[in-house]
Amino acid sequence: MSEHVTVARDGPVQIVRFNRPEKKNALTSAMYAALGDALKSAREDADVGATLVLGHPGIFCAGNDMADFLAASQGGGMLAAYALIEALAEHDKPLLAAVDGPAIGIGTTLMFHCDLVFASARATFHTPFTDLGLLPEAGSSLLGPRTMGHARAFELLVAGVPFSAERAREAGLVNHVVAAEELEAAARASAEAIARKPREAVRIAKRLLRGDPAPLKTRMGEEGALFLERVRSDEAREAFLAFLQKSAR
C-alpha cells in the first residue's frame, strides 16, 4: 500500500483518497498499485457496499507523475497501471468519485468507470493524451463515445479540450455539480445510501447496466499495446521533453 493513497472505512463505504497534495495527487506506480488493491479488496469484502474515491480541496488528480511514468514505461514497469485498469473492468460494486479542482489524464478517464460522479463547480476534466504523443487509455476510447457520443468524446479525448464541471455534467460524465464545501458530504451520503441497499441486487443491477465486460477488456488490451508503442516513439519522446522543459521553467 502506498502512503500516497489512504484507504479507510466509513460504515459500509470504503473511502479511497489520493494523498499526495504537494504533487497535485499525480499518480506513481505505487499509487496505481494501491488503488488497484483497494478495488480488489472492496470487491472481495462482503462488508463493503460501495467505494468512494476522493482527492483534496482544490485538486483531484494531476494524472501521471511524469518522471515516474517515463521510468516505468521505458523499463517495462507499467504492470501496476495495467492491474488497475483490469480491476476497474472487473469491479462489480458501486464506485463513486468526488472531484474538486483538476482531474487530468487518468483522473478523468477514471470517471468513465464510476457509477456516480460528484463535482464541485471548480472541477475541470482534461486529457492531454495526444499533446504528449499518446492515446486514450483505461478503456476510454470505448467508454467515452458510449457515454458522451463520438463528437464530445473526440473533443475531450483527442482534441484535449478541458471540460468544466457543468460541461461534463451535460455530457454525462458527471451526475451532480455541487458547491465545493458540500462536495464530500454529498458524495459520502450518496455512497452510504447505495451501500445500505441489498448488496446482491445492486451488484446484479450494475452488471446488467454495464453489460458484458469482454469488449471493454479487449479494448483495454488494444489500447495498452498501442499506448506502449506510442510511449517509445520519437514523437512522444519529443513531446515529453518539451513538457518537462516547460515544467522546469
Q: Strand pairing of 5-10 and 176-178?
A: unpaired
Tell me what the mean pLDDT of segment 198-223 comes to. Answer: 96
**The pLDDT of residue 241 is above 90:** no
The percentage of residues in the chain with a pLDDT greater than 90, rounded to a whole number, is 82
Reduced DSSP (H G I as helix, E B as strand, rest coil) percent helix, strand, coil of the chain, to 5: 55, 15, 30
CA distance 4 to 80: 15
pTM of the model: 0.94
| Mean pLDDT, the chain, integer | 93
Please write the tens of the pLDDT for every residue from 72-119: 666 655 778 889 999 999 999 999 999 999 999 999 999 999 999 999
Of 124, 130, 92, nearest to 111 (Cα)? 124
CA distance 108 to 117: 11
Of the listed ranges 26-30, 210-214, 244-248, the one predicted with least confidence: 244-248
The three cell numbers locating residue 186: 454529498
Residue 46's identity, in one-letter code, is: A
Residue 216 parent element (H or E): helix 214-231
CA distance 35 to 82: 12
Q: Strand pairing of 13-18 and 50-54?
A: parallel
Number of neighbours of residue 3 by Cβ within 10 angstroms = 10
* 213, burial (CB in 10 Å: exposed 0-12, middle 13-18, buried 19+): middle
Angstrom CA distances, 7 to 39, 190, 233, stand at: 10, 18, 36
Angstrom CA distances, 36 to 27, 230, 240, stand at: 12, 24, 26
Angstrom CA distances, 25 to 19, 128, 202, 226, stand at: 6, 17, 31, 26
**The pLDDT of residue 144 is above 70:** yes
3-state SS, 148-202, equals HCHHHHHHHHCCCCCEEHHHHHHHCCCCEEECHHHHHHHHHHHHHHHHCCCHHHH
